[in-house]
Amino acid sequence: MSGNETGQAQVSDRVLTVPNLLSFSRLLLVPVFLAFLVQGQDAAALIVLVISSVSDFLDGYIARRFNQMSRLGQLLDPAADRLYIFAAIIGLAWRDLVPWWIVGLIVGRDVFLLVLGVILANYGYGPLPVHQLGKVATFALFLGLPLIMLGLAVPAIAVFSQPIAWAITLWGAFLYWWAGAIYLIETVRAIRLARASLPRQSDTLEP
């Protein structure tokens, strides 16, 4: 067994790896995806989204299979996921196909997590580990939003796909905030532990 005797993947500081290049390509396609969506070219936007999803699968597979996991990749991958979600809801809202409160609900949750991250950093903590519920919520949004787009690209199936798409999207948004509540609880717990570990100040003045 080479590289890692414990069987756990090594995470390196390398930048120029095949998975990272694939992640960069996903990021470069975000504005292309958004432009197609805003212009009403739903079929083209779906094609870009499929290409991005395939590259997402490939970069994860290659990173694990060939031990090319990196810290940069761990940042790029979730960043690309969020940007595609933001691009999808903003593009659809721009065309009045989804209400803007959905945009505020989803974007607001990530702004909320950003604030929690700043608070944790002030106490010397890094970002909280991704909760399984957050992964499920992201998956639901990644499934629901493209289904909405699919109904737009193929109107013949919209009567069937749209109710399902909206149910999944709204459920994903609910889970998104549920996960946010869990992150808030974990942040409060971390702050309490940090404060408890601080030395108590003396009530008397030092001579």
pLDDT band at 4 (very low <50, low <70, confident <90, very high): very low
What value does the mean pLDDT take over residues 108-114? 92
Q: Would the pLDDT of 200 be above 60?
A: no
Mean pLDDT over each residue of the chain, to the nearest integer: 86
| Per-residue pLDDT, 180 | 93
| Per-residue pLDDT, 1 | 38
| Per-residue pLDDT, 183 | 93
| Per-residue pLDDT, 79 | 87
Q: Would the pLDDT of 127 be above 80?
A: no
| Per-residue pLDDT, 161 | 93
Q: Would the pLDDT of 9 be above 60?
A: no
| Per-residue pLDDT, 204 | 46
What value does the mean pLDDT take over residues 102-110? 93
Q: What is the pLDDT of residues 68-89, one digit of tens each?
A: 888 888 888 888 888 999 999 9
Global confidence as pTM:
0.82
Q: What is the pLDDT of residues 37-46, one digit of tens each?
A: 999 999 999 9
HSE of 130, CA atoms in CB hemisphere, 13 A:
13
Length of the chain: 207
